[in-house]
């Protein structure tokens, strides 16, 4: 791997392992961006899906721009009780290595949603429903912008 890839992996690992926060909260005081997160179900049976929703909001009267080091602005994960990443398959996201940005106008929000049905992929990735054994899993998302990072709470989801 190149130095850039190792740096990206180290940065991703650093924010993925940090303590989650409870929403809503301010991403950074100087941006004013607020964040919130929720799951639609905390218990699912085979064939059911739970959705993780992350919302970024700009309650200020000025536009706010967030700068990202890749095409992945907000990413979701599902881990088992031991902390092993179950989804996405392979344990990590493959992100386009281009700088991206997100501008939120005054009062504007941006929502990201992922569906999980108990498999090693998210619903948008042709979910493999029921491929994981019943048990407790943790569903959460992370974001790393130049202006700051955000980790959602780790939502406990029980797969029946």
CA dist., res. 25 & res. 34, Å (int) = 5
pLDDT attached to residue 129? 55
Lowest mean pLDDT of 16-20, 36-40, 59-63, 98-102, name the range: 16-20
Closest by CA position to 150, among listed 48, 10, 62, 31 = 31
Using only C-alpha atoms, the chain has a radius of gyration, in whole angstroms, of 16
116 pLDDT exceeds 50? yes
Average pLDDT, the chain: 82
Q: What CATH number did the domain enclosing 18 receive? A: 2.60.40.2360
What is the average pLDDT across 91-116? 94
Better-predicted residue by pLDDT, 32 or 131 = 32
Element (H, E) at 64: strand 64-68
Give the domain range for residue 31. 3-159
Per the structure, how many domains does the chain have? 1
């Amino acid at each position: 791997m190149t130095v850039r890839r190792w740096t990206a992996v180290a940065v991703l690992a650093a924010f993925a392992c940090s303590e989650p926060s409870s929403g809503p909260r301010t991403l950074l005081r100087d941006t004013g961006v607020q964040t919130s997160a929720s799951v639609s179900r905390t218990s699912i049976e085979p064939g059911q899906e739970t959705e993780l929703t992350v919302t970024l909001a700009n309650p200020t009267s000025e536009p706010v721009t967030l700068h990202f080091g890749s095409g992945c602005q907000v990413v979701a994960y599902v881990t088992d009780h031991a902390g092993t990443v179950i989804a996405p398959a392979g344990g990590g996201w493959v992100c386009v290595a281009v700088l991206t940005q997100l501008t939120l106008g005054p009062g504007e929000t941006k929502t990201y949603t992922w569906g999980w049905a108990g498999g090693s992929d998210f619903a948008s990735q042709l979910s493999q429903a029921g491929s994981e054994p019943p048990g407790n899993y943790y569903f959460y998302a992370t974001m790393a912008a130049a202006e700051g990072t955000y980790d959602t709470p780790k939502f406990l989801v029980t797969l029946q």
